[in-house]
Amino acid sequence: MAESTIESILEEKRLFNPSQEFAQQAHIKSKQEYQQLYEQAKTNPEQFWADLAEKELDWFQKWDQTLDWQPPFAKWFVGGKLNISYNCLDRHLQTWRKNKAALIWEGEPGDTRTYTYAQLHREVCLMANVLKQLGVQKGDRVAIYLPMIPEAAIAMLACARIGAPHSVVFGGFSAEALKTRLVDAEAKLVITADGGFRKDKVVSLKPEVDKALANNGAPSVENVLVVQRTEEKVQMEPGRDHWWHDLKAGVSAHCPPESMDSEDLLFILYTSGTTGKPKGVVHTTGGYNLYTHTTLKWAFDLKETDVYWCTADVGWITGHSYIVYGPLSNGATTVMYEGAPRPSNPGCLWDIVEKYGVTIFYTAPTAIRALIKMGEHHPNARDLSSLRILGTVGEPINPEAWMWYHRIIGQEKCPIVDTWWQTETGGFMITPLPGAIPTKPGSAALPFPGILADVVDLDGNPVKPNEGGYLVVKYPWPGMMRTVYGDPDRFRRTYWEHIAPKDGQYFYFAGDGARKDDDGYFWIMGRVDDVINVSGHRLGTMEVESALVSHPAVAEAAVVGRKDEMKGEEVFAFVTLEGDYQGSDDLKQELKQHVANEIGAIARPGDIRFTDALPKTRSGKIMRRLLRNLASGEEVAGDTSTLEDRSVLDKLRGG
């Protein structure tokens, strides 16, 4: 299955119209209706979002000003008061949804739990009270480092309930990566578990927390709350570590939601950038609540009777917006799975679809490619007839994978929503609306109403149809990130200065190249910066390079992405060694493991090449473009005249 180039994707002419039957029942029923909404939102974005905020959310106090835009800093629903946990839980208890399944969870070993809205509310209140008992107050940051168990959602909602911003750290990250995030966020408490089950293995988490906190590694952390999952033996440090099940037994299940300002910090989520340490992306309460709520409702045509399942991990933005907040705010039933397809159970996803009658299924291209490889006899052996919509996110989907998803999983009847968005954008930005917008395999289609997306050149001028350029957004939207935690200047530099503002027009740019076709459909071309997309997860080349040079054998390292059939991209590292070290297969293995220890398994290089020197410009910049060509075995293309020492390139070619 060859990866398609953008050229071949652009030749993709197939068009899939929503069936009449589907369109008739959808929230947004036709292209005309979409266009009307889009125009309406474009003409008066504030009014558009204010109307939705009024209609879709419950507010303790109405806002005075819909948008305060002091570029690049936006505030939405200024003066408004609400609590997202109230919108996700309490308000449903006043309706028949009280006893509706809010969260259906399946553990990898096959154990299951279902929480109704009333039960989930109770658990959240209990955890909120435990957090308070441990001294967490409004404004204190709480880190969440958990496997995919219901307590992950409960913890997020409990933090939101008491106004303590959470920072979820993906359970696959190492102690080192956890420590960096704890320190940057100055987290007061960590919620973790003994471990979790993933691909037939026990993944230990508490020992990683212990390592991160050892030698006063994260001095702000006062307490650790531990959920029992695997029942493996863990060290509990008296006074610091507490079992959730112990403390839960001693608190009240009554916990009124804090009244939060619309612009109060809801969470920080770290994501990789081109330089330095990961950025703490800041999201606030009101705008994020409205944006995730509305985008999910329209793009997945969410209905009361849907059983909605997003296979992401809560450690990523997709899990935040579209496993927890978006679905629960809508009063939907959201499914959560601890495990993943694995050799011992390649059909597990389809078992879950059949068992719970999943109607909406949302996953990533990398997962689809892995499922293709496992064979279509697995889905074919299950009843997937409950499915009505499929979604994809994380990286451009190659048309071959799209078609397989359409034919084998969607039985040619389910619209595919290819959602382009980012940690920074909070929710979907470019996506088909399934009842209204015909889809083209490989294209994320059209911008969501209220999103002024465009493809421009470096001067901010729109490029011609079918020409490549930078994907930008030209007006603020409620779900946008507000700043980089503790570093507003970095926020400005990273996202708003790549394309310089002109005539009062600001351009949000977060690193993707794209083209628009003659119908105005967007075709995302992937990152144009030094971010590698491994299985839909962002890794900064700098992070991996820093991890490599922290090994005593490594003098210098340069990391690039190389196309990979399954993962989209994989990490390829060029390494020069310190004095006495010799490159060997053993050392390669050791360095790969070292990176996995420093960051996490997703960052483990697929390959490492030892070299005497790295190709650099005269000003000392590593020429990654050349390395990318070399890594993928391509001819070195483009200008090499700025190369300091041409012999370096010749040697690299030879070896």
The answer to the question of whether 395 is labelled as a binding residue is yes
CB of 431 to ligand 6R9, least distance (A): 8
d(CA 564, CA 566) in angstroms, rounded, equals 6
The answer to the question of whether 611 is labelled as a binding residue is no
Secondary structure letter of residue 88 according to DSSP: I
The answer to the question of whether 359 is labelled as a binding residue is no
The three-point CA angle 496-498-499 to 5° equals 85
The answer to the question of whether 618 is labelled as a binding residue is no
CB of 320 to ligand 6R9, least distance (A): 10
CB atoms within 10 A of CB 466: 11
Amino acid at 133: Q
Among residues 445 and 554, whose Cβ is nearest to ligand 6R9?
Answer: 445
Q: Distance between the two ends of the chain, CA-based, in angstroms?
A: 28
The answer to the question of whether 527 is labelled as a binding residue is yes
The answer to the question of whether 418 is labelled as a binding residue is yes
Amino acid at 90: D
CB of 526 to ligand 6R9, least distance (A): 6
Where on the chain is the footprint of ligand 6R9 (CB under 6 A)?
271, 316-318, 393-396, 418-423, 444, 510-512, 524, 526-527, 533, 536, 538
The answer to the question of whether 554 is labelled as a binding residue is yes
The answer to the question of whether 420 is labelled as a binding residue is yes
Among residues 420 and 477, whose Cβ is nearest to ligand 6R9?
Answer: 420
The answer to the question of whether 295 is labelled as a binding residue is no
**How far is the CA of 217 from the CAs of 9, 175, 183, 208, 544, in angstroms?**
48, 10, 8, 12, 21
Among residues 108 and 418, whose Cβ is nearest to ligand 6R9?
Answer: 418
Question: Chain-centre distance of CA 72, in angstroms?
Answer: 22
Residue with tokens 């009063």: 331
CB of 319 to ligand 6R9, least distance (A): 10
Among residues 80 and 511, whose Cβ is nearest to ligand 6R9?
Answer: 511
The answer to the question of whether 112 is labelled as a binding residue is no
Among residues 147 and 479, whose Cβ is nearest to ligand 6R9?
Answer: 479
Strands 112-116 and 101-106: antiparallel
CB of 540 to ligand 6R9, least distance (A): 12
CB of 281 to ligand 6R9, least distance (A): 8
The answer to the question of whether 421 is labelled as a binding residue is yes
The answer to the question of whether 226 is labelled as a binding residue is no
Among residues 124 and 144, whose Cβ is nearest to ligand 6R9?
Answer: 144
Question: Chain-centre distance of CA 606, in angstroms?
Answer: 22
**At a CB cut-off of 8 Å and minimum separation 6, what does 189 contact?**
131, 134, 135, 136, 140, 142, 143, 221, 222, 223, 224, 225
CB of 522 to ligand 6R9, least distance (A): 9
d(CA 482, CA 476) in angstroms, rounded, equals 10
The answer to the question of whether 423 is labelled as a binding residue is yes
CB of 564 to ligand 6R9, least distance (A): 15
- Does 72 sit behind a cis peptide bond, omega within 30 degrees of 0 on the bond before it? yes
The answer to the question of whether 549 is labelled as a binding residue is yes
d(CA 196, CA 149) in angstroms, rounded, equals 8
Listing DSSP states for 517-555 in one string gives -TT--EEEEEESSSEEEETTEEEEHHHHHHHHHTSTTEE
d(CA 406, CA 408) in angstroms, rounded, equals 6
CB of 185 to ligand 6R9, least distance (A): 18
Among residues 152 and 444, whose Cβ is nearest to ligand 6R9?
Answer: 444
Amino acid at 645: D
Sign of CA dihedral 372, 374, 375, 376: negative
CB of 394 to ligand 6R9, least distance (A): 4
CB 210 within 8 A of CB 233: no
The answer to the question of whether 419 is labelled as a binding residue is yes
Sign of CA dihedral 440, 322, 150, 91: negative
Among residues 40 and 274, whose Cβ is nearest to ligand 6R9?
Answer: 274
Among residues 418 and 454, whose Cβ is nearest to ligand 6R9?
Answer: 418
Among residues 77 and 322, whose Cβ is nearest to ligand 6R9?
Answer: 322
d(CA 23, CA 139) in angstroms, rounded, equals 44
d(CA 161, CA 84) in angstroms, rounded, equals 7
Among residues 35 and 422, whose Cβ is nearest to ligand 6R9?
Answer: 422
Contacts of 109-114 with C-beta under 8 Å, sequence gap 24+, read 109/197, 113/150
**SS3 per residue for 566-627:** CCEEEEEEEEEECCCCCCCHHHHHHHHHHHHHHCEHHHCCCEEEECCCCCEECCCCECHHHH
CB of 56 to ligand 6R9, least distance (A): 22
Amino acid at 566: M
CB of 134 to ligand 6R9, least distance (A): 31
Among residues 419 and 597, whose Cβ is nearest to ligand 6R9?
Answer: 419
CB of 537 to ligand 6R9, least distance (A): 6
The answer to the question of whether 75 is labelled as a binding residue is no
Amino acid at 113: R
Among residues 338 and 512, whose Cβ is nearest to ligand 6R9?
Answer: 512
The answer to the question of whether 122 is labelled as a binding residue is no
Among residues 141 and 538, whose Cβ is nearest to ligand 6R9?
Answer: 538
**How far is the CA of 236 from the CAs of 209, 239, 443, in angstroms?**
11, 9, 50
Residue nearest to ligand 6R9 (CB): 423
Q: What are phi and psi of 248, to 5 degrees?
A: -55, -35
CB of 538 to ligand 6R9, least distance (A): 5
Structure-block tokens of residue 216: 């006063």
CA torsion 515-517-523-524 (nearest 10°) is 10
User: Residue ranges for the binding site for Mg(2+)?
Assistant: 549, 551, 554
User: Residue ranges for the binding site for ATP?
Assistant: 394-396, 418-423, 512, 527, 538
